[in-house]
Amino acid sequence: MARGAQGADRLIRAAKEIVSKSGFTAMKMREVAKQAGLNLSMYHYYFRTKEAFSKAVVESILADLRQETLAELSRRGNGAPLQELSHCLLMEAKFLRDHEAMILSLMNGAQRGDAFAQEVLKSSHVEEYIALTLGRIERCIDEGLLEETFSQVVTNMLFGAVLGGGMFFRMLAGPLNGELLRRLGIDPQETRLEDARLEFIVQKIVGSGLTEKGRRMLAAAPQGQAG
């Protein structure tokens, strides 16, 4: 790898750690350069503007997520439709939990009309990742395993159940939030969901959209296999 590419990569890696923990508001260029072990002038040399750098950071994070999901699916081999969908949703749930500050920062920015946040959320990297999950939802629907309306609600359910341990879901759900949270097994006081809880949430979300055929297939599957 060329020296310039190494320097840029070090800056991106340092920023990814900061953004994932604390969101974009905490991404101060001086701190990023310090954590990367580079002079601040190197940041300006490689990226020129904060917007260009921020975009590179988000694209790298999303590219990592897509690659990790594909690698996990490949490692597990060709699975049954519901099994593959559950794996995709679980990977997405872990990503939401581990990058909560960044995601909320982008969503809040997009709601305020921030052009950068809107551009990121509409980027090809986001679309490519969403396509991984949607493709598996469509397969399950085509095979009669999921209700046709499942694709319309799954994103809101997953985002709402994971972000802030259900905080975002309570904000969206209004007076229905208590019942919806109970159905997903979420403690309103829980602020970070462990892997076992995420697996439970994914099972509940997938289960909420199953057809009778899907329920029969799930019941007949060996333990630990969905679909």
pTM here?
0.77
Q: Does 18 have pLDDT greater than 70? A: yes
What average pLDDT does the chain have?
81
Report which of residues 210 and 197 the model is more confident about: 210
Q: What is the mean pLDDT of residues 106-132?
A: 87
Q: Does 190 have pLDDT greater than 60? A: no
Structure tokens at 119: 């551009």
What local confidence, expressed as pLDDT, does residue 147 receive? Answer: 96
Report which of residues 226 and 140 the model is more confident about: 140
Q: Does 165 have pLDDT greater than 80? A: no
Residue 93 CA to residue 163 CA, distance in Å, equals: 9
Contact assessment for residue 183 and residue 207, using Cβ atoms and an 8 Å cutoff: no
Q: What is the pLDDT of residues 135-151, one digit of tens each?
A: 999 999 999 999 999 98
Range picked from 27-31, 90-94, 211-215 for highest mean pLDDT: 211-215
Q: How confident is the model at residue 1 (pLDDT cuts 50, 70, 90)?
A: very low
Q: What is the mean pLDDT of residues 29-41?
A: 90
